[in-house]
Amino acid sequence: MKKILIFASGKGTNFEAIVEYFKNKDIKIELLCNIDEAPVLKKAKILNIESHLVRFSQTYDFLKNNKYNLYVLAGYMRILPPGILKFGTFVNIHPSLLPDFKGINAIKRAFTSGVKQTGVSIHFVEEEVDSGEIIAQQKCIIEPNMTLNDLEEKIHEIEHNLYPRVIEGLL
C-alpha cells in the first residue's frame, strides 16, 4: 500500500478533494498540520484520516521517523526547512501559471494585474519558492465580467480536479 502525507494548514479544500478521490483506492493518506485550530484538522477527523499536529520546528524530526511514498503540499503556508527534500518526492500546487505570480496572494495579484488568463500549476518542490519543475498546468480565462470571488471559485475547481489525478500519476 502506498502512503501519502499531505501538508496543510488552512481550510483543507484540496486535502478534502484528494481524500475523496482516493477513498476507494489502496492508498493510505495522512495529514501533517502545523496550526492548532486549522479547519483542515476537523476535516481530517470527519474523513477519518490520521492527522499529525507537528510544530514547524519539529517537521524534520517527524519526517526522519516516518516514511511516505509521496509528500503533497496543499495549502501548507510555510516554506519547508532546509534538508527536508531529501526524504522523498515533494509536490506543490500553486494558483497561477508559474512562473507568473509566485508566492502568496497569486489569484488576487493575477486578477488585479490585467492578465487575460491565469490558472493552476503543480510542480516538484525545490528550495526556492514555486520554482520546481512543472508537472502539470491548467489555464483559466479571466472573463471581462468576472469578480475576484468568481475567479477564486474557478481556480479552486480546477485545483480539486487536477491535483488528485496528478498525484495518482506520480504514485
- Residue 82 pLDDT > 80: no
| pLDDT tens, position by position, 17-61 | 999 999 999 999 999 999 999 999 999 999 999 999 999 999 999
Q: Within its chain, how far is the Cα of 139 from the centroid?
A: 17
| Burial (0-12, 13-18, 19+ Cβ within 10 Å), 39 | middle
Which among 78, 94, 68 has a CA at the least distance from the CA of 166? Answer: 94
How large is the C-alpha radius of gyration of the chain? 16
Q: In this structure, what C-alpha cell is assigned to residue 130?
A: 514555486
Among the listed residues 94, 123, 156, 160, the single catalytic one is 94
pLDDT of residue 54: 96
Which domains are seen in the chain, by residue range? Answer: 1-88 (3.40.50.170)
pLDDT of residue 81: 80
pLDDT of residue 91: 98
Grid look-up 500553486 returns: 94
Grid look-up 478534502 returns: 16
CA atoms within 13 A on the CB side of 131: 5
Length of the chain, in residues: 171
Which among 167, 137, 170, 139 has a CA at the least distance from the CA of 74? Answer: 167
| 123 given a catalytic annotation | no
Share of the chain above pLDDT 70, in %: 100
